[in-house]
Amino acid sequence: MSIAEQTRSAKTWREKLSEFSDALRNVPKAFRLLWEADRWSAMGMGAIVLASSALPVSQAWATRLIVDGVLRAWRSHAAPMEGLRQVAPYLFFQFGLIMTGSLTGQLRSLTDRFISLKLGRLITVRVIGKAISLEARWFEDPSFYDKMQIVRRQSEFRAHAIVTHGFLLVQNALSLLSFLVVLVAFSPWVALLLFTAGIPAFLIQCRYSSLSFRLETWRAPETRSMAYLEQLLTQDSSVKEVKLFGLGEPLLKRHDGLFWKTFREDSDLAKSRSAKSLGWGILSTLSYFAAYAYSIYETVLGRISLGRMTLYTTLFSQSQGAFNGMLDNLGSFYENGLFLNDLFDFLNLESRVEVLDSSTRPAEDPHRGIEFKNVWFRYPGSSEWALQDFSLSIRPAEKLALVGQNGSGKTTLIKLLTRLYEPTRGEIYYRGVNLKYFPPQEIHRRIGAIFQDFVRYHMTLRENIGFGSIEDLADSSRIEEAAKESGAAAFARSLPKGYDSVLGRWFDAGVELSGGQWQKIAIARSFMSRGEILVLDEPTASLDAEAEYEIFKRFREITRLKIAILVSHRFSTVRSADRIAVLSGGRLAELGSHDELLARRGIYADLFELQAQGYR
């Protein structure tokens, strides 16, 4: 069954009512966001709504006074200037109403612009703030990315739409109340006819709002795929391979195929929605002309004046428009409220990082380092264990290297230590204190790390290094010292603006660097850390042997009083560590110094020999 067919699957009235109720519950939430974002604009828009709601009936009444005034002057055979003098107050009254309408229209546009910008800003801040508060496991879950894709693409627009239609609903309701007083006095049956004729069209709009929401939600993976293909085809990080392997046209065709698939689903839904809305819309038109004909009939019989007929026919159109507008606004609440479910669900996500009560936290023992005790871990959605019954103690100020084949669990171990993930079973201790007593923010302050997939910030060189210790971003001497220790200072002097040069090609005057230069900057970033632990995950993969040797000469001095954990496939690097832990299949297979492990002639010795053969 296609997505389009799934959207047409039947729902019971109970389910539809529940869905409608859930959507409407998001309306006050959207207005609370508006109040938080810009309460002055909210109050200003409220005042504009009150003024605008009184204008339609006032203008219709002024028109009636003008028409009847003209008829009286004509019947009394008054002179032209005398007739004009009699009608002039009504003309000035109408002019004032028109000018008021123009002023409120301009003020509405201006205020709505402020609301759109500030509400959008608040939602963006909330969404990004929530994203950075969640642990890393969320970002490896495709369903989370689908939800975040919908939230980022839809929420600002949908929240603004609810607020806009909310104000319009209040305005239409107030206007309708004033119309109702006048129309019921004319004919209760005419009022009932006009107001009920729009209900079928409203129900049709609600149904298609639900289908539109479900269609948009179910195809989030396709939308994300299109965005990813656009990124591949337009960003500097992938352009070389795309051109070299001739991927441009094939990937563009794949993007085009996804577009036409979504376009067909959208167009089918839009055609069906338009056809049914048009059919039921004719009923509203017929009801208007029936009321129009009745008012003419009453006028011909002499029961109402021509001015009153003008008043009533104007109110017929305006009241039906206001009533249909109210129904449209309710339909908009329904459709946009459905999408806002995703926003509020996203904002309600909670981090599952367990932090134990600090009042029971034991004192730290500086004579103890890091301890992994019977740690098991597997990634969400995976049935394979990344770590199995892993136990290891790292002494204070010890330099430990982690070695093993890809997928053996080395980087996973670092993610658990830095609390980017939580162990499935087992415990991790630092200085004799369970890591669960440390909030993630405290752990991140105490551990400096560089991962093999480090970030290349398209910002200044100063920021690229200083981000390793954000509180020291203004400390130029500290940044320059870290650059010197990593070897980045050598090329920093040749950049156009030194440490203030923008790196990367995304922005004007940006300078692109080699892979090795970027890696030296990433190493400098980790050297900025004031923490007691330094973690380097494949820190020299893009460096030549000489540069690697120079960095590790400095590395031991920099980490003299720190625990240092080094992950590397280069045995020329790891042999300088105090001890080497060999991982295999998520387990600790071997542990010892370089010489001890070679003498054992086990996994490490085999890997060392294989690598050594490449240099012979």
pLDDT band at 83 (very low <50, low <70, confident <90, very high): low
Q: Domain containing 417 — which CATH number?
A: 3.40.50.300
Question: pLDDT value at position 433?
Answer: 92
Question: pLDDT value at position 407?
Answer: 82
Q: What is the pLDDT of residues 385-426, one digit of tens each?
A: 999 999 999 999 998 999 888 888 888 898 889 888 889 899
CB atoms within 10 A of CB 496: 9
Q: What share of the chain is helix, strand, coil (3-state, %, to 5)?
A: 70, 10, 20
The secondary structure element, H or E, covering residue 537 is strand 533-537
Q: How does strand 447-450 pair with strand 533-537?
A: parallel
Same domain, 303 and 424: no
Q: What is the pLDDT of residues 237-262, one digit of tens each?
A: 676 667 666 777 878 888 888 777 77
Verdict on whether the full-model pTM lies above 0.75: no
Residue 20 to residue 27: CA distance in whole angstroms = 11
Q: How many distinct structural domains can be found in the chain?
A: 2
Q: What is the pLDDT of residues 439-490, one digit of tens each?
A: 888 888 888 878 777 888 888 899 989 888 888 888 899 999 888 888 888 8
Residue 68 to residue 90: CA distance in whole angstroms = 10
Same domain, 340 and 371: no
* Residue 488, in any domain of the structure: yes
* Residue 5, in any domain of the structure: no
Q: How far apart are the first and last CA of the chain?
A: 60
Same domain, 292 and 388: no
Same domain, 433 and 558: yes
Question: pLDDT value at position 522?
Answer: 86
Question: pLDDT value at position 163?
Answer: 87
pLDDT band at 183 (very low <50, low <70, confident <90, very high): low
Helix axes 220-234, 248-300, angle to 10 degrees: 130
Same domain, 214 and 311: yes
Same domain, 437 and 525: yes
Question: pLDDT value at position 373?
Answer: 94
Same domain, 312 and 415: no
Lowest mean pLDDT among 282-286, 338-342, 364-368, 413-417: 282-286
Asked if pLDDT for residue 328 goes beyond 90, the answer is no
Residue 371 to residue 270: CA distance in whole angstroms = 61
* Residue 409, in any domain of the structure: yes
Q: How does strand 370-377 pair with strand 387-394?
A: antiparallel
What's the whole-number average pLDDT of the chain?
A: 78
Question: pLDDT value at position 6?
Answer: 43
Same domain, 333 and 373: no
Same domain, 337 and 386: no
Residue 274 to residue 205: CA distance in whole angstroms = 9
* Residue 280, in any domain of the structure: yes
Q: What is the pLDDT of residues 429-448, one digit of tens each?
A: 999 999 999 888 888 888 88
Domain end: 347, 380, 404, which one?
347
Question: pLDDT value at position 377?
Answer: 93
Same domain, 393 and 434: yes
Residue 526 to residue 482: CA distance in whole angstroms = 9
Half-sphere exposure of 227 (CA within 13 A, CB side): 12
Same domain, 388 and 249: no
Question: pLDDT value at position 3?
Answer: 40
Domain end: 315, 347, 379, which one?
347
pLDDT band at 375 (very low <50, low <70, confident <90, very high): very high
| pLDDT, average across residues 209-218 | 52
- The larger pLDDT score, comparing residue 510 to residue 22, is at 510
Same domain, 389 and 267: no
Question: pLDDT value at position 4?
Answer: 45
Q: Which domain holds residue 211?
A: 23-347
Question: pLDDT value at position 131?
Answer: 80
Residue 56 to residue 442: CA distance in whole angstroms = 61
The secondary structure element, H or E, covering residue 235 is none
Residue 499 to residue 501: CA distance in whole angstroms = 6
* Residue 343, in any domain of the structure: yes
* Residue 62, in any domain of the structure: yes
Q: How does strand 533-537 pair with strand 387-394?
A: unpaired
* Residue 559, in any domain of the structure: yes
* Residue 406, in any domain of the structure: yes
Question: pLDDT value at position 266?
Answer: 65
Q: Domain containing 267 — which CATH number?
A: 1.20.1560.10
Domain end: 296, 313, 347, which one?
347
